[in-house]
Amino acid sequence: MFLRTLAQKLALALCYLAFAGFVLFPLVWIFMMSIKNFGDIIAYPPRFLFTPTLENYVEVLLGNDAQRAGGQVPDLLKFLMNSVIISGGAVLISALLGIPAAYALARRRDKTSDKLRFTFLSFRFAPELAVILPLYVIYTRIGLYDSYVGMILVHQLITLPLMILILASFFRDMPIEIEEAARIDGARIWTMLTRIVVPIARPGIASAMMIAFIFSWNNMIFGLVLAGGSTRPVTMGILQAMTFDQIKWGMMAASAMVSALPGMIAAVLFQKQITRGLTMGAVK
């Protein structure tokens, strides 16, 4: 019996290790590329023992020799700032619109509410390529191409459905008796929403905003088509390593690590909240 239990635990541990290796291997491989010189990167068979270097990170974060001599800001730092503006603005607007929408969906339980929830869910899973070309034509005609306003608006397709779906689940879990007591005391709907519902649901709102920010931060297709030289997000930073005659693999790997770092830090720091938000928004 003891040997059987030990064998089951050992098999389970091996399964966990295999799964962790499968998930983390691409990340580890890209990190190793980012600290290799060019000769180690293109070596065949691959070299796992090498002298690490920070040259790729220096070029990505501080610029090349010409940029440093001219006092220019490296492109990746500009892209990072653009992503902060675009994703931060998109999440703030989605919070302003999504909180009252999610509250209404949570408290109104009928067929119309279910249809609206399904509609928001379909927005979340709709392929971005299905709308990107019409959006490009519209943006170029009304002047939103390569603008922060245009990028923030288009990122509502990512952040707003997430906010509504996740927050509606949080609001449904809140006891309605508190709101009924406030309504008896004469509180109007706006007062009840801002002074009672939002403060109680603050952890859920923070989780939803964090998840929406990560999804918006990781998006690349909107930046590839609708952003120009002044509004490119950080996910476009890896493309700066591709020129007409070569691909700087080390610089590309360093850019990928820097662009993914905020999302990884947020996932580690807010692991419980993100897991709860994703589970409630996706399953319930």
d(Cα 198, Cα 209) in Å, to the nearest integer?
A: 13
Name which of 227, 222, 105 is nearest 163 in CA terms. Answer: 105
Report the run of H or E that residue 258 belongs to, with start and end: helix 249-269
Q: What fold characterizes domain 73-279? A: MetI-like fold (1.10.3720)
Long-range contacts of 60-64 (CB under 8 A, 24+ apart): 60/237, 60/251, 60/254, 60/255, 60/258, 61/258
pLDDT band per the 50, 70, 90 thresholds, residue 283: very low
d(Cα 203, Cα 206) in Å, to the nearest integer?
A: 5
Note the pLDDT tens digit of each residue in 257-267: 888 888 788 77
Q: Helix, strand or coil for residue 229?
A: coil
Domain ranges in the chain? 73-279
Note the pLDDT tens digit of each residue in 224-240: 899 888 888 888 877 77
Note the pLDDT tens digit of each residue in 16-45: 889 888 888 888 999 998 899 888 888 888
Query: What is the reported pTM?
Result: 0.81
